[in-house]
Amino acid sequence: MNDFFKDMDMGLRSDPKRLSSKYFYDDQGSRIFQEIMALAEYYLTNKEEEIFIKRSHEIIEALKPLKALDVVELGAGDGSKTKLLLGELLRQHVITRFLPIDISAEALVSLERTMRNDLPSLQVNALVGDYHDVMDELEVEAPTRLFLFLGSNIGNYPPPSNQELIRFVSSEMRVGDFLMLGADLRKHPAIIRKAYDDSQGVTKRFNLNLLARMNRELGMNFIMDQWDFYCQYDPLNGELRSFLVSLEDQMAHCRPLNSDYHFTKNEVIWTELSKKYLLSELEELGKGAGLTVISHFMDEDRYFSDSLFKKEEL
């Protein structure tokens, strides 16, 4: 029984029921997420792009002095934002290789196509899989590495998992390596809520695809029109939580496990946490992993931060 089966079975037998957001990103889920990033309400993509368009030069200055740099991106997606920074690194003759890691092979095929078209001189060595599993496959070439964990992916990890993740990345870093951590910052609650409950229902479709994926891959029999989507944001702790809501008393059956999962009307399955950070919280994450903050690079509205950390001598 693979991890997906195990996590599904454990999650749907827990109280409250939950499913891990990492299973959103099969090829279909990755395509839907590209739609989400293009939504006007979903400010995160535009704000991070603004940082790389307007501040890439400052970011590279903060990395110097450098002779050569490997860039490793965790959860790279299609690389549409990253290429803005990579382009500046190429112009300044700093980057040696780009090593994107993603669980979706389709996303990496799209990324490689984009890089060939837009940055043809960039050497790309893509790795398919969970970054916990493939980090050991990274070959060391350049004397310094810049690890990228962008798009506010850190917001999907509840404490203490967020700290454990940064410690894991730090354990893979050598002295002198850098980590750039993208994080959505706290702001007016209404702005955040609209970003995760869009008027076109794309985020709802993204969440429902998790059930569809379980039907396809785990032999489940969820009925899509018997489920709805809901999210709530708590401005006191910066946590936005997403849920699937059962519209009926119903049962889902997993054929390979011969297991039944019962849901009452209005019962929820917690699917995702999207935490919004304070800068001080980001600094504490880095400190807890033995990393020193170099700078917080923010957009003009201070909605988003790409925070640069360095692993230094103890």
What is the C-alpha to C-alpha distance for residues 6 and 9, in angstroms, rounded to an integer?
5
Contact criterion met (CB below 8 Å) for 76 and 109: no
Q: What sign for the dihedral angle of Cα 13, 18, 22, 27?
A: positive
Cis peptide bond prior to 65, omega within 30° of 0? yes
Residues 152, 293 within the same domain: yes
174: which strand partners?
A: none
What pLDDT is recorded for position 66? 80
Contact criterion met (CB below 8 Å) for 203 and 304: no
List, edge to edge, every strand of the sheet that includes 178-184: 127-128, 95-102, 69-74, 144-149, 178-184, 304-311, 291-298
What is the C-alpha to C-alpha distance for residues 142 and 99, in angstroms, rounded to an integer?
12
Residues 172, 55 within the same domain: yes
What pLDDT is recorded for position 314? 65
> Phi then psi for 294, rounded to 5 degrees?
-95, -50
134: number of Cβ within 10 Å: 16
User: Can you list the residues of the chain whose pLDDT is less than 70?
Assistant: 1, 314
The parent domain of residue 232 ranges over: 3-33+189-275
- Residue 38 lies inside a defined structural domain of this protein: no
Q: What is the CATH number of the domain that holds 181?
A: 3.40.50.150
Residues 241, 195 within the same domain: yes
What pLDDT is recorded for position 103? 86
What pLDDT is recorded for position 64? 86
Split into its structural domains, the chain has a count of 2
- CA atoms in the 13 A half-sphere facing the CB of 226: 14
DSSP state string for 219-245: -----GGGEEEEEEEETTTTEEEEEEE
Residues 22, 49 within the same domain: no
Residues 148, 14 within the same domain: no
What pLDDT is recorded for position 1? 62
- Please tell me the total number of residues recorded for the chain in this structure: 314
pTM of structure: 0.91
Residues 80, 138 within the same domain: yes
What is the C-alpha to C-alpha distance for residues 275 and 35, in angstroms, rounded to an integer?
21
